[in-house]
Structure formats: C-alpha cells, structure tokens
C-alpha cells in the first residue's frame, strides 16, 4: 500500500511530469467530443471501484466515451497539469497528496470530494475493551503491551503508512516492534487473531474492505502523527468543465458513502471492480439520478 507516499522532491516530480508526456495519444487541439475522456487511475481497490462507476455512468447515461489510463499517482497529477489526462478520481487531500497538489493546484480544476472520512491509522478488533485500549497512548500500559506481545502488525516495509507508524512509535515512546507484511498477510494475521480472540493492532486505512468484514475501530491519535481525516477529490485538467460541461456536472455531484464503497470493495474481491460497480449502479438508480442532477 503506497497511497501515503513520502514527500517527493521537486526533481522527482518534474521527472514524473516529463514521463507523463507519453500518456498523450491524440492532439489536444481536437474538439472535445471527438475523443474520449481520459481518466487516470492506479490499482487501489477504492480508486478502481469509483473509476469504474464513473466510466459506466459517463458511457451509458451521458453517451460519453471513456478511456482508462492506468499509471502512477505522480504521473496522474503531471498528466492533468499538462492536459494529457482529463480526470483523476483519487486525489487524497489535504494531507496525503499535499506534495503533488502544491505542484499543480494552479493548473487543474478541483471538482470536489467524491467521498470523505478517508484516513490512515492503527485499528484493533472492536471486542477489545475501549476502557483499556482507546488511544495509541494506551499501548504504553504494561498490561496492554503484554496482551499484544509488544508487536504492531504492519504492511509493506516501504509504504508511507509504515514510515508514519515508525514515527508514531517514537512520538508516543512505545516499546513495540513494527512487523512488516503484505496487505493480504496483514489481513490474514488479523483474521487469525480475531478467530482466536487474541489482541492485535494493525496498520490500516479507510476505505478498506476489511471494515465491512470485521468489526474494527481506530485507536485515537491525539498527537495526529498518522494524520487526520482526508477527502478523496476528483481533479480535472484546466478547461475540462468548459469542454465537457455535462460530465463535469456529474462528477461534481458524485458522492459515494464510505460504507457503501467498502461493501462494494469487499464483493469485488470475489468478482471484479467493474462487475460490482455495475451492480451498485443498477441497484441505486435514485442515487445515480441525483448524481446526474438533470444533466443526462
């Protein structure tokens, strides 16, 4: 998981912007209606679901062709700035993608939040008594550390969340070892602990499908080392709203409740994001009509 990326240097961002030129496959001078809307995306399960929803509605309800361009997050920001991408639906603001946003904010359109309540943090099974373990500070209690074996279950070693977690251990003066694993291995360890009714702390983020499968809660982070609540925004290249007014109006209206998104993500594990996005759209006609807001 790399959504909370370390701050990029200006040199690296410029390199990304240069590489993003390869994204362009048609002259920007072409009339808007003569080419599809190009949406950048990265293989994060939440981003894939929302992107598939938007693609389906744009094509089926507005008759607008869509091309999905899978590429790195940095290249999405650079692609929007240069006009080689039209949209991205996965901008984590104000904190996680701050370094990217600062580089492009004068050259793109912010179409607003698609969903709110996203965050990074440490979570525990809800059956662990809140009276004993409510906050990261409570991990310093000898009886809590004993229950947890002095371990915090992490994810990939290079993930930004892991770097923040190391900072949190130092900031709170904790005598804990941060274990590394893949996202899948982290969830397997969590599942095993829950089945055995053992205590566990995992590094995680929202939206994540595991919040639909397990009863979990985040530990409070009074020092805000792991960051606060985030919103995932839709960003567009400059001039997008003028070129595609109906599409822009739809994207501005599109708001996905976080529990709904996590439920779709959970189902998509056994099928596909495209299939479950289509099922959600089909089952929520009134919501879709609200998103369209009379533009169809």
Please check the confidence at residue 264 and state whether its pLDDT lies above 80. yes
**Domain 10-117+229-292 identical in fold to domain 119-218:** yes
Q: What percent of the chain has pLDDT over 90?
A: 78
Average pLDDT over residues 267-284: 96
Domain positions in the chain are 10-117+229-292, 119-218
- pLDDT tens digits for 213-243? 999 999 999 999 998 889 999 999 999 999 9
Domain 119-218: which topology?
Answer: D-Maltodextrin-Binding Protein; domain 2 (3.40.190)
* Per-residue pLDDT, 256: 96
- CATH class for the region spanning 10-117+229-292: alpha beta
- pLDDT tens digits for 45-60? 899 999 999 999 999 9
Confidence of residue 8 (pLDDT cuts 50, 70, 90): very low
- pTM (2 decimals)? 0.79
* DSSP secondary structure letters along the chain: --SSPPPPPHHHHHHHHHHGGGG--S-TTS-GGGSPEEEEE-S-HHHHHHHHHHHHHHHHHH---EEEEE--HHHHHHHHHHTS--EEEEEEETTTTHHHHHHHTTSEEEEEEEEEEEEEEEEEETTS-TTT-SBGGGGGSHHHHHHHTTEEE---TT-HHHHHHHHHHHHTT---EEE---HHHHHHHHHHHHHTT----EEEEES-THHHHS-EEEPB-TT-TT---EEEEEEEETTHHHH-HHHHHHHHH----HHHHHHHHHHHTTS-HHHHHHHHHHH-HHHHHHHHTT--
| Maximum average pLDDT range among 1-15, 16-30, 207-221 | 207-221
* Per-residue pLDDT, 33: 52
Tell me what the pLDDT averaged over the chain comes to: 89
């Amino acid at each position: 998981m790399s959504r909370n990326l370390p701050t990029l240097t200006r040199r690296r961002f410029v390199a990304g912007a240069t590489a993003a030129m390869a994204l362009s496959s048609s002259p920007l001078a072409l009339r808007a209606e003569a080419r599809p809307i190009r949406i950048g995306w990265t293989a994060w399960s939440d981003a894939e679901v929302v992107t598939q929803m938007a693609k389906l509605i744009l094509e089926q309800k507005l008759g607008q062709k869509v091309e999905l361009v899978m590429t790195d997050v940095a290249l999405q920001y650079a692609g929007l700035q240069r006009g080689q991408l039209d949209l991205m639906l996965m901008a984590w603001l104000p904190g996680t993608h701050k370094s990217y946003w600062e580089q492009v904010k004068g050259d793109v359109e912010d179409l607003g939040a698609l969903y709110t309540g996203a965050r990074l943090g440490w979570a525990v099974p809800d059956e662990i008594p809140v009276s004993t373990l409510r906050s990261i500070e409570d991990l310093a209690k000898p009886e809590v550390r004993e229950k947890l074996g002095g371990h915090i279950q992490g994810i990939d070693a290079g993930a930004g969340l892991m770097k923040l977690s190391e900072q949190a251990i130092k900031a709170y003066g904790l005598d804990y070892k941060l274990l590394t694993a893949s996202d899948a291995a982290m969830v397997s360890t969590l599942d095993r602990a829950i089945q055995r009714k053992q205590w566990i702390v995992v590094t995680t983020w929202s939206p994540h499908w595991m919040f639909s499968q397990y009863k979990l809660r985040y530990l409070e982070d009074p020092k805000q080392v792991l960051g606060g609540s985030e919103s995932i925004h839709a960003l567009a290249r400059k001039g997008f709203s003028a070129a595609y007014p109906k599409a822009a109006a739809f994207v501005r209206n599109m708001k996905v409740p976080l529990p709904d998104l996590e439920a779709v993500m959970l189902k998509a594990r056994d099928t596909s994001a495209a299939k479950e996005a289509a099922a959600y759209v089909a089952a929520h006609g009134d919501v879709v009509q609200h998103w369209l807001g009379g533009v169809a």
